[in-house]
Chain A
Amino acid sequence: MISKIINMAERMKDEQDRLLESMFESAPIADNGFSDQIVRRVRRKLWLRRLTLPVAVVIGLLIAFRPMAALVTGVYELLLSMPGDLVPSLEGSLPSLQLIVTGALVLGVAMFSLSMLED
């Protein structure tokens, strides 16, 4: 009830209100490509946001490739140097270094593709 009274009071305009309304009144501004320009900016922003993570992953992989390869080689050599009775048939069960790196790259590409598909 109170809010109705407030709204009614708000709608009761005096002469000056009406004059001010006519003074402030202006013709609608034509769009003239304004909205398209913003939509393009928004789309560009979306694409940049979507690309940020995959690009960061690829750069991270490139940077981490050498130290990771060295680490894998080190572990591989350590395992090979262990006595045969501790690690039976180790030679056949461990994948080669190339296979591990290829697997990591395939995983990276798959993650990238999945994130693109989700978008």
Chain B
Amino acid sequence: MAWGEDHELVARAVSVQDTRAFGELIRRHQSHVRNFLRKLSGDTSAADDLAQDCFMRAWDKLHTYSGSGSFIGWLLKIAYTTFLQSKRKSKRYAEILEQVGHVSEAESRTYAVQADEVTDLDKFLAVLSEEERAIMVMSYACGLSHREISEATSMPVGSVKSVIFRGKEKIRTNFDIKDHQHG
């Protein structure tokens, strides 16, 4: 079956609860969403769990998609919110564990990237704040425009631009980026 544009699939999924249309939307965008969450969290399996939660939320909220912006921008907004909420929950969980004396377990839960898996990109991302990381990934990995990032993060376009500028400055000051050889 030939599927149409994203907004047509959304309309189909919302009007007749067509799960196959929604499945096609997931197939189209899962790579971007999973990549975004993997880069944000640094944990592949946790990111994939979050991506599942993100798509489940997207199904529930599909009727709120107005079609004015790109669907991937709308999805990444949900992914970012899902990530922040899970982070808040795990922080609270770590606090409770600490309160009952399980400090080591609480610490182990905040550990994200495995030492032997650290890439140059992980080092770059590590110097950025969570917000900077999310915006840089949206911009450079997912190719979202400043306006789309602004919609996804509920920040003014000007703030998005300054966060990107700040992120670039941090990378520039922490790493000799011109000497870096990619690959």
Contacts and interface: CB of A to CB of B under 8 A. Distances in A.
A36 B24 CA distance: 10
B172 A16 contact: yes
Contacts, number: 74
A19 B182 contact: yes
A38 B141 contact: no
Of A6, A35, A37, which is in contact with the most chain B CB atoms at under 10 Å from its CB?
A: A35
B52 A23 contact: no
Contact of A26 (B30, B35, B52, B124): B35
B80 interface: no
Interface in A3-52: 6-7, 10, 15-17, 19-26, 28-29, 31, 34-39, 41-43, 45-46
A9 B141 CA distance: 19
Interface of A: 6-7, 10, 15-17, 19-26, 28-29, 31, 34-39, 41-43, 45-46
Given A29-B30, A38-B56, 5 more contacts: A23-B120, A37-B52, A38-B52, A39-B19, A39-B22
Contact of B141 (A17, A24, A43): A24
Q: Is the interface of A mostly helix, strand, loop or mixed?
A: helix
Given A20-B168, A20-B171, A34 B145 contact: no
A42 B59 contact: yes
Contacts of B137: 24
B19 A24 contact: no
A25 B168 contact: no
B156 interface: no
Nearest to A23: B121
Interface string B39-75: 1000000001001100110010000000000000000
A38 B55 contact: yes
Nearest to A15: B178
Contacts of B172: 16
A24 B143 CA distance: 10
B35 A20 contact: no
